[in-house]
Amino acid sequence: MVKLNAQDASFLMLESAGAPMHIGFLLTFKQPGNAPADYMQKLHAKLSRFAVDVEPFNLRLAHKEGLAKLKPEWEVADSVDLEYHLRHEALPWPGGERELGLAISRLHSEPLERSRPLWECTLIEGLHGGRFALYMKIHHALADGVGLMQQLTQVLAESPRGTSLPPWSAPIVTVPGTKPTQSGDEDWRRFFEGLFADLGKPKRERKKESRLPRGPRCLLNGSTTGRRRFATQDIELGRVKALAKAADATVNDAVLAICSGALRRYLAEFDRIPADPLLASIPVALPREPGQTIGNSVAGVHASIATHLEDPRERMTAICAATREAKEEFNRLPTAMNRAINSLGMLAMMAMPKKENADPDKATFTNLTISNVPGPKQKLYFHGAEMDGMYPVSVLAGDHRVNITVLGYHEHLHFGIIGCPDTLPSVQKLAVLLPPALLELEQAFGLARAPRRARAVAAR
């Protein structure tokens, strides 16, 4: 038996028909140049022969009754029916990005069966240009985006002839990069030193704020159903880096500014631009506990994305200031405290929308989640097929109707946008609005360039 921590358990406890709690990735590939006509059938047959023998893919929820359900545990499944978990589909003609987006929207709307290990993998053939896709989804209680991305990256090869394994049969390799910069004791020592040092100092003047941060009420917040709509967009990483350098900002600040510009245009068309700035939840990866290979290790900060400012240059400056302050606040607290605060905050954010928000001016919490996940910098291959896209597919938390998650792969940033189409119109329009928002920022910082055709947008 493996006990779940508070954060992982909350994803199970707060899941409902209107709020499925699985995450995923959509990987797209170019078939090898010498691929036979039955390449996809052979690939499916090959993957079907691998045993499901690594965590988290061989874990399932232990059956419990009564109050024992409040303390969920994982157990190793005696056997896993791979025929159920590994699917094979084909897109209808013409196999474009719209058809792919609709297929992922349907697959991501379907809840995972709790009597089985909580994951599914679908091979999708028929994508135009001799391409295909792989869509993997897994319950958020078993993995966060960074952990799942690392596992998927490890099973891919760095050359067309390299060895590839399915994630459910590949040994887990601990990836460095999230090691704590200091010990837990040092964390707490710095925290208390700062706390005592501030005792005799005059307090800085700060605006009176609610203890619970709340964004302005708008179309992005409210009730949702379990239906999901998925759209993607690609933007050249070099352009975003150049913008960040020109603005003396981070790449993450530039991503937030691009999203802010797109959200302004979207709200102007479908609702209104609130007088107060939208407030974004921004996940932050935490060091994993010793020996931790499954589950979540993430906290979050919230920051204004300055959507109330019309001038894109002023907007970028305001976003940089907001994220800098949010990081300072976050870094003052020990990792253990940030982890605990995030678990409690998640419970509050997701539980409160069950009661109708009667405030005419404020959302229940933040307006949306915007996440930036670092990804592989080199080209990767799967059984000889070159991966040309890696898109995150996330969840809608609380009363959020849209989530924007970004992942860097090779020379591009890949945006995955998930929304509730029953309560948020034209989710795919947000993806279409990202390139114009980037161009607007480039012009504001003297990086103007001739408009170019963006790469295809899924679900356009």
Residues involved in catalysis: 140
Residue 75 token pair: 């157990």
Residue 313 token pair: 């240059």
Maximum separation of any 2 CA atoms in the chain, in Å:
76
How far from 389 is each of 80, 154, 240, 257, 262, CA to CA, in Å? 29, 16, 18, 23, 22
